[in-house]
Each structure stands twice: as C-alpha cells, then as structure tokens.
Amino acid sequence: MIRAAPPPLFLLLLLLLLLVSWASRGEAAPDQDEIQRLPGLAKQPSFRQYSGYLKGSGSKHLHYWFVESQKDPENSPVVLWLNGGPGCSSLDGLLTEHGPFLVQPDGVTLEYNPYSWNLIANVLYLESPAGVGFSYSDDKFYATNDTEVAQSNFEALQDFFRLFPEYKNNKLFLTGESYAGIYIPTLAVLVMQDPSMNLQVQGNSPVRLPALCFALSGLSYPPAYINHPGFQLPDC
C-alpha cells in the first residue's frame, strides 16, 4: 500500500518548528559548557554552573567558570570577579575565597562555602589576561598591557552576554582584588561607553552598572606597593 505524501503545509510547519527549536537553543545558556558533575563533592550542587571559553581580543580565548545564584538566578545580579597579580587566576577567588566550593587541605576534597557570593548573585569568574590559568592565545603571543587587557576583558564580557542572553537585563557588578584595581576601572570605562552591550537602561546610563568593588588597593601604584604587605581592609 502506497502511503500518501504529507501535505506541503504540514512539511512547512514542521520546518518552522525545527527552526524555532534550533534558534531557541541559541538564546539560553550553552549546554556544552554546563558542568554536570564536579569531582571532590560528596553531593552535587542544586544550582547550575558552566565552564568554557569566552572570545577575547584578537586570537585570545579567556577561560570562565560561571555559577548561577542559589536564590532566584533570573533576577539576581551578575557579578564579574577578577583576581589581580597581575597574573593570578580568578579560580583562586572561586576555590579559596568566595566561590560556592572551597578546596580542602588534602587538595582533592571540596566543601560547600556557607558564605559564597552565589548565595545571592550569579558570579562569573574570568581568568585574565590570556596566559593565566586555562586562558590562551592562538598566536602564542602573551605580552600585553593594561589597555589591551581591558579591551580583551570587555570583549569577553560581551561574549558572555551573547552566550547567556537571559542575563542581559540583570544588574552588573564589576569586582576584583589586588591588581584588579587597574582591571576594573579600565573595563568599566569601556562598558559605560558602549551601549551596544544592550544591558538594561537605568536612567541615562547605557547599562545597569551600580557598583565597582575592590579589595586590596591597586588603584594607585605607590600606595599599593606600600600597603600590600599589610593587606588593606576591603574597600567596597
């Protein structure tokens, strides 16, 4: 028995359904970057987390680890964290300071941090500049300067909101410590000057950028050198 071919309208609707399904996958967090299981934890987290690469300037690829808020991620702010150095990995901040997991003395076990920032915020840990941690450059050229690092961080932040467009309308906080006292202000200038990032407008500002936060002075070189041994109180 020869089965009748599907009507053209049915095929058209099926094609449209497939296209919508394909397009919708590009408007949410990237599945390929989601961490399904993290070794060292006795119990896997209830919140989602992602790790992968964001496109920096030129041929640079900056590694990121993003942990969603444990409380209402859709409305929680997005917090970018940068460790300083220069040359320190931001995974130091994630795994030893204010991330959801803390590495234990055995170097293998992870314990949950009761004071994690992601209790109330979506936190993006970015390894910058290229050459730090898992971040790399295709051309193997790693010499850089503050201006180039700011541009690369800015492009990586743009790429983050391209991959995670559901967070474009959330408040954005730029935070860091030590030499991030240089990274953060120079990045903030680029963020505030470019409305193409399409973040939520608040008043006449092109983005919702309510705060910058620094720990350990890096805003001025001589004071930073003088005060670093004593570890200044956080200046937020």
Distances (CA, A) of 79 to 19, 44, 116, 140: 33, 23, 12, 29
pLDDT of residue 62: 98
The DSSP 8-state label assigned to residue 216 in this structure reads S
The C-alpha atoms of residue 82 and residue 93 are separated, in whole angstroms, by 8
pLDDT of residue 194: 80
CA-nearest of 83, 166, 175, 52 to 123 is: 175
Task: Sort strands 60-67 and 49-55 into parallel, antiparallel or unpaired.
Answer: antiparallel
192 pLDDT band, cuts 50/70/90, is: confident
Beta strands in the chain (DSSP E): 49-55, 60-67, 78-82, 101-103, 110-112, 122-126, 136-137, 172-177, 211-215
Distances (CA, A) of 83 to 29, 62, 86, 176, 219: 24, 14, 8, 6, 14
Helix axes 180-193 and 146-163, enclosed angle (nearest 10): 60
The C-alpha atoms of residue 30 and residue 18 are separated, in whole angstroms, by 18
For residue 101, pLDDT beyond 70: yes
| Per-residue model confidence as pLDDT tens digits over 3-47 | 555 455 443 343 344 333 333 344 567 899 999 999 999 999 999
The sign of the CA dihedral 111, 116, 47, 31 is: negative
Overall residue count recorded for the chain in this entry: 236
| Per-residue model confidence as pLDDT tens digits over 37-93 | 999 999 999 999 999 999 999 999 999 999 999 999 999 999 999 999 889 999 999
Task: Sort strands 172-177 and 211-215 into parallel, antiparallel or unpaired.
Answer: parallel
**pTM (2 d.p.):** 0.77
Q: In order of start, what are the domains of the chain with their CATH numbers?
A: 32-230 (3.40.50.1820)
Task: Sort strands 78-82 and 122-126 into parallel, antiparallel or unpaired.
Answer: parallel
pLDDT of residue 2: 52
Residue 71 dihedral angles phi and psi, to the nearest 5°: -130, 105
| Per-residue model confidence as pLDDT tens digits over 131-186 | 999 999 999 888 899 999 999 999 999 999 999 999 988 999 999 998 998 999 99
pLDDT of residue 205: 41
pLDDT of residue 141: 87
Contacts of 219-228 with CB under 8 Å at 24 or more apart are 219/181, 219/182, 219/185, 224/178, 224/181, 228/178
Only one residue has tokens 């150095």, namely 85
For residue 113, pLDDT beyond 80: yes
Beta strands in 76-189 (DSSP E): 78-82, 101-103, 110-112, 122-126, 136-137, 172-177
